[in-house]
Amino acid sequence: MEHYKISFEDLRKLVGELLKCKYNVVSQSADGKKFIKINSESELNLNPANKPTDISMKEYFLPKSESLFFYKRNKDEIELIDVNINENKTVIIGAKPCDAAAVPVLSKVFNWDYKDEFFNSRVDKTIIIGTACRYKDSFCFCSSVGLSPDSEKGSDIFLVPLKDNFYLMKIITEKGKIFTEEFSWLSMEKTDERPEKASPEFDDSKFEYINVKTWLDENFSNDFWDGAGELCLGCAQCAYACPTCHCFDIVDESCGYSCGRRVKNWDSCQFGLFTKHASGHNPRDGQSKRYRQRISHKFKYYKDRFDEILCTGCGRCSRGCPVSINILEILQDIEECNKQ
Amino acid sequence: MNLAETAKDILKNHKAEFIIGYSKGRDGRTKPFIAKDEKGAEKLVFDHFSVNNLAVYLTRMEKPKGGKIGIVAKGCDVRAVNALIQENQIKRDEVFIIGVNCSGVVNDIDGEWNKENTQIKCKYCQLRTPNIYDILVGELEDFELPEDGQQLLMTKIENMNAEERFEFWQNEFDKCIKCYACRQVCPLCYCEQCIVEKSMPQWIETSASARGNFAWNLIRAFHLAGRCIGCHECERACPMDLPITLLTRKMGMLAGKEFGYRHGMDPSQETLIGSYNIKDNEDFIR
């Protein structure tokens, strides 16, 4: 792995150059609430101490609403029109470890049986420049789900802050290497300087995942769930803010008689409609059952099937929950149940 | 008696079977909590961070047989309870209202309580002491009022022409991700089946795209016309920060101006939508 030293100013210059070369450049917005496509180098918002955005960056791989194909009806014939997914190349700069790690986690489900060309083509065309994280609040728990504030998982290039507004730039993947070669004019020097790791203050574990998994394996039916889901109102803030939640619904929308499209929209297991059968029967007929599904999918089913935890510990679901349900507290409660 | 002692007494004497209130979470946040016994009652708190309108739970919870649901309610929350009674969703004798004197609540629940971090609704609040309750707790304290920035924005929008207004709302609705947090936190959004869930036919497009987002946000606003009690929970819950209470507040103001009506002020009053008066003003209908 190659290590370079690069200044913040040069990273800005890189952004300017990428924009000239018609790349989409995505960074945290100035208010830090979401990831946006920026239009000038001055908009680059890159600070390891930034709080995770309110909404994750998954929309750049899995848009909230995505056309799959269009149709036209001419008398008796129906013509199908493919969607052109050849978007410009994208560079996401300033993804936190809890943002970047979600991409390889999601790739597993999108390539498990059917290979999702929409998701895959976006991932192929995106360079993720991750940044070490030096933010911490009572909702973060990356270190408990196998990540850390210095985790490079999912990043093609990874930046770690050095002194005086410099960054250590680690080239992680082949894709990242090819990308940096394209911009060889960048004043990057190879360096032996190594930054300090995140202090324990940022990197402490809040629970042992194995305890949660062990309990979940045995307790599909347990009174615990009634209490856990009791106050959940059943909105999808948690799922839509989440970097790893990926459920979607496919519907047809017409624009009158003669044309329309098939479209894939974000969906959430927290909605009653999500599991409602055409007969009217709903196997998940209460919020507690839906909340159990959310926890079980993330911390048990996905692990069983894909050997990954479907959670990066970013804490977005907890920070944004209208009724302040804190998933970390729920997981700690589960760990406590397992000890008993 | 303070809130916790009051609550203990209520549960002990079965004035209510459980109490929906607020407690401090391990993460330091004040959050909804259900006190089911005296030990639970001790955890109940009320402070500037008690933002939630707990009346939302009244239509989402099973009613205890032969007993009442206790609820901790600020003035704006009591308006929601009253509205639910007016709309025949609950009966007055099914709830035991622990009214709390409220001296304003925060906007950002992880921030400090100060003038800048105070909800706009507190600026023009007329019910710091709830108008209906079974027991009242807490003391009123003075607090500095925030600027009513929303009123300024409303005036600005009123001065826009149709195209400019359309553009304003298009920009805002474009951000909507259809998480329906606005609907789920609303104490007056209690339909068993929401119109967006009706799929035969699909009246409202489920896509979070221009058409679907416009349809959803406007339908939501219309369904709350003259019914919104102004708790602003929808806007607080919105992860995309859409200024949706501009619509519901404006309609509430119109209901007041045209019909002299404010929803949720008197549980025995007929609703604006559900009543007809020959003297009703109609010259604004075009």
- Whether the CB of A260 is below 8 Å from some CB of chain B: the reply is no
A66, A265, A276, best to mutate vs chain B, most B CBs in 10 Å: A265
Residues B225 and B254 in one domain: yes
Residue in the block written with tokens 């990831």 = A35
Q: Which of A137, A237, A319 comes nearest B237 by C-beta? A: A237
Q: Which residue has the higher pLDDT, A201 or A114?
A: A114
Residue of A nearest to B175 (CA): A64
Residues B133 and B179 in one domain: no
pLDDT at B63: 85
Q: Name the pTM for this structure.
A: 0.94
Which chain B residue is nearest to residue A276, measuring alpha carbons? B197
Q: Residue B179 domain-assigned?
A: yes
Among B108, B137, B166, the domain boundary falls at: B137
Minimal C-alpha gap between B11 and chain A (Å) = 19
In this prediction, residue A86 has a pLDDT band, given cuts at 50, 70 and 90, of: confident
* Cβ–Cβ gap B60/A241 under 8 Å: no
pLDDT at A187: 67
Please give the structure tokens belonging to residue A183.
């911009």
Per DSSP (E only), the strands in A232-327 are: 248-254, 259-266
B115 & B164 share domain: no
Tell how far CA A137 is from the center of its chain.
Answer: 19
pLDDT on residue A164: 86
* Residue B284 included in any domain: no
Residues B131 and B7 occupy one common structural domain: yes
Query: B133 is in which domain, residue-wise?
Result: 3-137
Mean pLDDT, rounded, for A26-45:
95
Same domain, B23 and B129: yes
Residues B116 and B169 placed together within one structural domain of the fold: no
For chain B, the residues whose C-beta falls within 8 A of a C-beta of chain A are 25-34, 52, 56-57, 60, 109-110, 177-181, 183-185, 197, 202, 205-209, 212, 233, 236-237, 239-241
Chain A neighbors of B109, CB-CB under 8 A: 324
Q: Is residue B100 part of a domain?
A: yes
- Are residues A329 and B208, on separate chains, in Cβ contact within 8 Å? no
CA distance A88 to A94: 19
Q: Do B185 and A322 count as a contact with CB atoms less than 8 A apart?
A: yes
| pLDDT tops 80 at residue A328 | yes
Clarify whether residues B71 and B92 are in a common domain: yes
pLDDT at B157: 96
The Cα of B142 is separated from the nearest Cα of chain A by a number of Å equal to 27
How confident is the model at residue A220, as a pLDDT?
97
**Across chain A, what does the average pLDDT equal?**
93
A101-159 pLDDT, tens digit each: 999 999 999 999 999 999 999 999 999 999 999 999 999 999 999 999 999 999 999 99
Query: Does the beta carbon of A25 lie under 8 angstroms from any beta carbon of chain B?
Result: no
| A326·B29 Cβ contact <8 A | yes
Both B155 and B56 in a single domain?
A: no
In a domain, B57, yes or no: yes
A124 Cβ contact list (under 8 Å, min separation 6): none
* Cα distances (angstroms) measured from residue A207 to each of A307, A335, A339, B173, B255: 19, 7, 12, 39, 52
Does residue B265 fall inside a structural domain? no
- B277 in a domain, yes or no? no
- Chain A interface mutation, best of B26, B47, B179, highest count of A Cβ atoms under 10 Å: B179
Q: In the predicted model, is pLDDT for residue A261 greater than 70?
A: yes
Judge: A139–B239 Cβ closer than 8 Å, yes or no. no
Residues B57 and B14 grouped into a single domain? yes
pLDDT tens by residue, chain B, 286 residues: 799 999 999 999 999 999 999 999 999 999 999 999 999 999 999 999 999 999 999 999 888 888 999 999 999 999 999 999 999 999 999 999 999 999 999 999 999 999 899 999 998 898 999 999 999 999 999 888 888 889 999 999 999 999 999 999 999 999 999 999 999 999 999 998 999 988 888 888 889 988 889 999 999 999 999 999 999 999 999 999 999 999 999 999 999 998 999 999 999 999 998 998 888 888 877 7
Cα separation, A36 vs A27, in Å, equals 6
Mean pLDDT of A79-83: 94
How close A239 comes to chain B (CA, Å)?
Answer: 8
Same domain, yes or no, for B133 and B181? no
In whole angstroms, give the CA distance from residue B116 to residue B134: 33
In a domain, residue B267? The reply is no
Q: Would the CB atoms of B25 and A326 count as touching at under 8 Å?
A: yes
In a domain? residue B251: yes
Nearest CB to B29 within list A239, A263, A324:
A324
Same domain, B105 and B175: no
DSSP string, B111-148: S--SSTTS-GGGTT-S-SS-SS-SEEES-----PPPP-
Domain count of the fold of chain B: 2
Flag whether residue A310 sits within 8 Å of chain B, measured between CB atoms.
Answer: no
pLDDT band at residue A205 under the 50/70/90 scheme? confident
Q: Which amino acid is at A256?
A: G
Q: Count CB-CB contacts under 10 A for residue A17.
A: 16
Candidate from A54, A237, A324 with C-beta closest to B25:
A324
Put simply, whether A237 touches B (Cβ < 8 Å) is yes
Helix ranges (DSSP H) in chain A: 8-20, 97-100, 102-110, 117-124, 174-182, 209-218, 224-229, 237-241, 287-296, 302-306, 316-320, 327-339
Sorting pLDDT into bands at 50, 70 and 90, what band is A202? confident
- Are B160 and B132 within one domain? no
